[in-house]
Chain A
Amino acid sequence: MTAEPTIRKVLDTLRAERLLSDAGAAKMALLAVESAPLATPWYVRALLGASAWLAALFVLVFIGITLRINSAQTIFLLGVVLIATATAGRRFFEHIFLNQLLLAASFAGQAMVIGGIAKDGNDTGAALATIVMEIVLLILYRDATHRFISTLIAVVAAVVVCSELHMPNLILLLIILVAVGAFLIWENEIELVTSGKGDLFRPAGYALVVALLILPLLSITSGVWHELGINFMTHQTSWWLSSAGLLALAVALEFRILRSCGVPADSPSALTLFAATFLLALFLLGAPGITAALLVLLLGFHRGNRVLMGLALLFLPLFLVFFYYNLQQTLLLKSLTLMTSGVTLLIVRFIFRRLGGLSREVHHA
């Protein structure tokens, strides 16, 4: 990416290309001159989010002890009241202290709703209700942190449903759905922003990417879950299905990238990249986490989003560490998988450079 030019240059270019009228450009200049809302760094958001969670825990304990509630219905109803109050309050008030208090109340309410349903042993029902609740809150609760966590909770609840139904291959479908969701959100980010839905979908997009990177860890951490008494039945799961789904998405993304660069899909460079993607996914069938990380890296660069790229680069070594300790495959098989994949990429790079890369390709309309 080239060095960032100034706001003036951007507005002047848009005006010169008739994408903005003179009046529109002047209005934008005025807006830009006014103090822009200071963006809150991620670690400050994390500080506020973590404190809200901790406060919610204390609120929950206080309510539980004070009211001595034993009835599942009462817990459930009290939770609904808390969520409704918090959601309504957030829509009408904009104050940093109140926002955090309402966030804590919402999390406490959600825990009570889930606990109220699960109290009678209905874990599947609780998980399904959680998914519905989080989708509704994603739309209604206007807070980026809340939307991010709501999406993650919904994905976790979906995993619980898959586990409770004893249908492990549903988790593979979930991975593909999460990947498709992340792909659609980030590839349509511009349309979402201009239609005013950016604030709704961006936090969900980040959460789906995090979920996409974490879910494949289930394929290599089955031993840990069994020791904890949580049965994901991962030894019966055909993880290659998720790799195949991620491969399809990666190819679709590459089509879009090549088209944006004006490179025909049937050019030698393009075919080289497609072949490399296919081969890589084939070698990494048993390691869907690596394919997921590479997909997120590609998506992040395509959207100019360093956070997505950072997540992918952070997750990749983490997955490799877990992959090392995975007992479902021998070290020899794992080493061959990685060496073959690595050498394939290096050979593809050699061929790609010999073909002149993207620079020789010209799209003839």
Chain B
Amino acid sequence: MTIDPLERKTTPRELHRLAQAGNWSPATLERALAVAGCLPDKSDWQRFINTMLLLMGAALALAGIIFFFAYNWAAMGRFIKFAVLEAVLVATVVIAWQRGLQTLSGKVALLAAAVLLGPLLAVYGQTYQTGADPYQLFTGWAALIAGWVCISAFAPLWLLLLVLLNTALILFWGQVLEPGRWSDAGLYEALFLLNGMALAAWELFAARGVRWLTGRWIPQIIACAALLALLIPTMMLIFESGYRAEHAPYLVFAPLLYLVSVAFALWYFRCKSHDLFILAATLLSAIIVATTFIVSILHDGFAMFLPIALLIVAQSVAAAAWLRATAKAWEIEQ
């Protein structure tokens, strides 16, 4: 059975193209956009006004309340501080329970509760001077919200958990471990492993059809974080003059991990999980590394500037052309 090529969704860009090619009048284009649902009708405006008045009103009022408490914070007694934080925390949990975790408002309320737990722990630490290291605050925060994260089926909560774990790892590395034995390169590689595992878990469960994992912006953020975690030590190694293994242990693993990760990412996100943004980010990191490497080789003389400029343009053009060809191939596959 052949598929009618006109039985596909249209876009404003496509209608603009047809309007220009067909010399349409403004009224024709406007009607076409309205029929295509690209312009809001009265019911859309009704919903928009209702929703925006609620969201904007609530956001501005909440921001005002936060500003008010910031104004009075120093003058507040410790029990009032605890009471305010715990009251808001309990309120958000009650809202989440009443609305149910199947609704968006319930999930957002649970996210708010998870976020509020952090300031509560911080006030606890300040008030009772427990002597705990900062990394323990973030670790404790992550541990306390883990249960909520598991039952929420809400991607932003998982992202919050990952942010807390990353922060705890960074603080732990800097405050507890010996810098000579566990260098900065080791920290970046550990961050890569943490975020890489999170991304792998996301892709695995998304491939199995878990419904709330269908959005792509969170894995895109995680992928960028994982790439950045390897990009920095790789560039450090390129610029490290007189690299000595005993001064920078684990640094040598970074470029190896980086190369393997880039190759895998380009294959996986092209052939298995179609994600053009992650492919673009991967290619951008590769351009940065390649250019840095060449600059480090040609470090003498001004003559390198022009070839480097041409190299940058050539690499970006090649990357863009490959990305376009990839997108085209996906469109044909569909």
Contact = CB atoms under 8 A, between A and B. Distances in A.
Interface in B7-47: 7-33, 35-46
Residue of B24, B31, B312 most packed against chain A (CB within 10 A): B312
A125 interface: no
B49 to A, nearest CB: 7
Nearest to B302: A65
Contacts of B42: 261-262, 358-359
A7 B20 CA distance: 16
B40 A344 contact: no
A1 B39 contact: yes
Interface residues of A, number: 93
A97 B321 CA distance: 9
A190 B44 CA distance: 20
Contacts of B15: 10
B276 interface: yes
B50 interface: yes
Given A101-B313, A342-B58, A335 B71 contact: yes
A342 B14 contact: no
Which label, helix, strand, loop or mixed, suits the secondary structure of the A interface?
Answer: helix
Contact of B6 (A7, A17, A40, A337): A7
A216 B179 CA distance: 44
Contacts of B19: 193-194
A325 B312 CA distance: 39
Given A339-B60, A349-B54, A358-B42, A40 B324 contact: yes
B62 interface: yes
A62 B306 contact: yes
A52 B22 CA distance: 34
B178 interface: no
A104 interface: yes
B37 A2 contact: yes
Contacts of A334: 64, 67
A194 B25 contact: yes
A331 interface: yes
A194 B24 contact: yes
A104 B61 contact: no
A56 B306 CA distance: 10
Nearest to A20: B28
Given A190-B29, A301-B48, 18 more contacts: A10-B10, A17-B31, A20-B22, A38-B327, A38-B331, A41-B276, A41-B327, A54-B309, A58-B312, A100-B316, A190-B30, A193-B29, A331-B71, A332-B68, A335-B66, A335-B68, A337-B64, A339-B68
The 10 closest A-B pairs by CB, nearest first: A342-B61, A339-B64, A345-B57, A338-B64, A342-B60, A51-B316, A335-B67, A349-B53, A62-B305, A58-B309
30 contacts: A4-B37, A5-B37, A6-B6, A6-B8, A7-B14, A20-B28, A28-B18, A28-B22, A29-B6, A38-B327, A43-B280, A44-B280, A47-B280, A51-B313, A52-B313, A96-B320, A193-B16, A194-B19, A194-B23, A290-B60, A304-B33, A304-B40, A335-B67, A338-B64, A339-B64, A342-B59, A342-B62, A342-B64, A345-B53, A353-B50
Interface of B: 4-33, 35-46, 48-50, 52-54, 56-68, 70-71, 276-277, 280-281, 283-284, 287, 302-303, 305-306, 308-310, 312-317, 319-321, 323-324, 327-328, 331
